[in-house]
Amino acid sequence: MADVVPFRKPEPSARRKGNTLCRRGFHKWEPVDTPFDVKQGRLVTRYRCRRCGAVKTGAA
């Protein structure tokens, strides 16, 4: 006979672990720096998400 492997649900804290909000598009953006973009001819602000570290840029 084969050994039976018990399958259990993960603990509730393990299910919530991670960046669930960021995966659904609710990032927590904070400005990092404002370099000058030569092609656009203006300052560009870089934003980094506090939780997951994603980066986006926006014109200042």
User: pLDDT tens digits, residue range 2-53?
Assistant: 888 888 876 666 555 666 788 888 999 999 988 888 888 888 889 999 988 8
Is 36 domain-assigned? yes
Structure tokens belonging to residue 52 = 């997951």
Is 15 domain-assigned? no
pLDDT of residue 19: 66
Characterise 44 by phi-psi region: left (phi > 0), alpha (psi -120 to 50), beta (else). beta
Q: Is the pTM of this model over 0.85?
A: no
Is 51 domain-assigned? yes
58: containing domain = 28-60
pLDDT of residue 41: 84
Beta strands in 1-60 (DSSP E): 29-33, 36-37, 42-49, 55-59
pLDDT of residue 58: 81
Q: Smallest Cα–Cα separation from 45: which of 30, 37, 27, 57?
A: 57
Is 48 domain-assigned? yes
The total domain count for the chain is 1
